[in-house]
């Protein structure tokens, strides 16, 4: 019961700043949105991490920087997901799950670094081992 309360409290703590950043983003104040989301992303907030990567990918409030933009996924990396990332020129895709064999082949052909099976500090580099320091 205590864990549920702590988890709920953590969600409430994140909700207000996240919503503030979303409001700033929606009114075109990318600098404020970026600052808030960066802080939340550093604390492990998944939606903030995604939005921060999207801002770097699209050059909103920052210089467009594909090295700062990466996709983090909790689901399996499929060929459909990888097709979108190839089109977006995303340099790195990371997932808690393993990718499909077709997605691995697509990553190899397009030069995307692919990391899967992420569990804490353990992970498997499928493509791009030379770019990853373990």
For residue 15, give its domain range. 2-58
CA distance 11 to 17: 11
pLDDT tens readout for residues 32-48: 999 998 888 777 676 78
Structurally, how many domains does the chain consist of? 2
CA distance 63 to 20: 22
Domain contains 63: no
Domain contains 65: no
Q: Would you say 91 and 68 are in contact if contact means Cβ atoms under 8 Å apart?
A: no
Residues 12 and 38 in one domain: yes
| Residue 30 pLDDT level (bands cut at 50, 70, 90) | very high
Give the tokens for residue 5. 């309360």
pLDDT tens readout for residues 86-107: 887 778 888 888 999 999 999 9
Residues 48 and 80 in one domain: no
Structure pTM? 0.54
CA distance 117 to 30: 33
Domain contains 75: yes
Give the tokens for residue 116. 């899967």
Residues 53 and 75 in one domain: no
């Amino acid at each position: 019961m205590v864990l549920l309360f702590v988890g709920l409290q953590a969600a409430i703590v994140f909700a207000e700043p996240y919503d503030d950043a979303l409001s700033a983003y929606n009114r075109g104040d990318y600098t404020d949105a970026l600052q808030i989301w960066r802080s939340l992303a550093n604390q492990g907030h998944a939606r903030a991490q995604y939005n921060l990567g999207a801002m770097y990918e699209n050059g909103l409030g920052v210089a467009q920087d594909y090295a700062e933009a990466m996709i983090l996924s909790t689901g399996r990396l499929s060929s459909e997901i990888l097709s979108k990332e190839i089109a977006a020129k995303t340099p790195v895709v990371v997932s808690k799950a393993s990718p499909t064999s077709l997605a691995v082949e697509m990553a190899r052909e397009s030069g995307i670094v692919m990391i899967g099976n992420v569990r804490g500090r353990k992970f498997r580099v499928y493509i791009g081992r030379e770019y990853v320091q373990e």
